[in-house]
Amino acid sequence: MPLTRPELRLPKMPRGIRAPFKTLGPSSVSSLLKIALDVAYVLLMVITAVLLLVFLASIFIPLANLNITVSNESGGRQQPLTRPLLLFGVGALTAYFGGFLLILRNLRMIFRTLTVGDPFRPENVRRLRQIGLILAIVTGGVWSIQGLVAARLAPGVMDSQGVGELLTPVFSVLVVFVLAEVFKEGARLRRESELTI
């Protein structure tokens, strides 16, 4: 009796109940989301490239007599725009968009495997872990920079973020790491089923 490769079988839906749309494989929701991610990736790449050019140009831009105004509902204050301040602001913004560019790059690779109908690949585990790590770095960076700006640039005008505002981003990072472990388990089960053939 010839051995055949086992197929993953989903439980059958009760009669009369059908999934409203196809989620994996070609011509599915995942392929539509992959196209959206591709478009967002290109746009984010353009934005990051422009910010990088602005960062490089800000090294040479003359800044004589330029001021910035930091304000809130109760007023504000003017402060001279210095080269370190400009480089810090544009550099932080470039790093922020660059981090999300890396996240989208990994998501595109994951969705590429979903459109093929083969999500439980070991490289998807690595990609999800990278997404979680980058998201954690971006979250920590934004939180630190906002605190620094509130303390140094705009004390009394801008408030620093509290620890409570970190709950949602930290929860998101943990969800991504849990999903990575789910994909790791799926890849392990798939490998074991292939070895038992």
When pLDDT is cut at 50, 70 and 90, the band that residue 50 belongs to is very high
pLDDT value of position 14: 57
Of the candidate ranges 47-61, 65-79, 99-113, 173-187, the one whose mean pLDDT is the lowest: 65-79
How far, in Å, CA of 86 to CA of 113, rounded?
41
Looking at the predicted structure, is the pLDDT value of residue 1 above 50? no
pTM here?
0.74
How far, in Å, CA of 112 to CA of 120, rounded?
12
Looking at the predicted structure, is the pLDDT value of residue 176 above 60? yes
Q: Please spell the DSSP secondary structure of 97-123, one letter per residue.
A: HHHHHHHHHHHHHHHHHHHHT----HH
* 184 sits in which H/E element: helix 167-195
How far, in Å, CA of 87 to CA of 93, rounded?
10
How far, in Å, CA of 133 to CA of 169, rounded?
12
Q: Please spell the DSSP secondary structure of 45-94, one letter per residue.
A: HHHHHHHHHHHHHTTT---TT-EEEEEETTEEEEEE--HHHHHHHHHHHH
pLDDT value of position 3: 47
pLDDT value of position 103: 94
